[in-house]
């Protein structure tokens, strides 16, 4: 099933609401996959302001 990206936190989901913030503002137009495994040690997560592990999009339009 196609993943949708949350417009607010950029988390990817196949559900109808974002698993992080419950937002229903989801977009199928996204690019760049980022999988955060260890948010505390990842510099990528720090740069992007991601605090929870999971799958994220780099850009959501």
Positions in the binding site for another protein (CB under 8 A): 31-38, 41-48, 55, 58-59, 61
Q: Nearest distance from residue 12's CB to another protein, in Å?
A: 10
**Nearer Cβ to another protein, position 44 or 51?**
44
Secondary structure class of 39 (helix, strand, coil): coil
Which residue, 51 or 58, has its beta carbon nearer to another protein? Answer: 58
Among 11, 9, 10, 6, CA closest to 25: 6
- Residue 40 CB, nearest distance to another protein (Å)? 9
50's tokens = 């991601």
Q: How far apart are CA 44 and CA 14, in angstroms?
A: 23
């Amino acid at each position: 099933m196609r993943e949708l990206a949350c417009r607010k936190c950029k988390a990817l989901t196949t559900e109808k609401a974002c698993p992080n913030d419950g937002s229903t503002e989801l977009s199928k137009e996204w690019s760049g996959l980022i999988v955060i495994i260890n948010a505390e040690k990842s510099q990528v997560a720090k740069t992007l302001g991601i605090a929870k592990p999971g799958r994220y999009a780099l850009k959501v339009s």
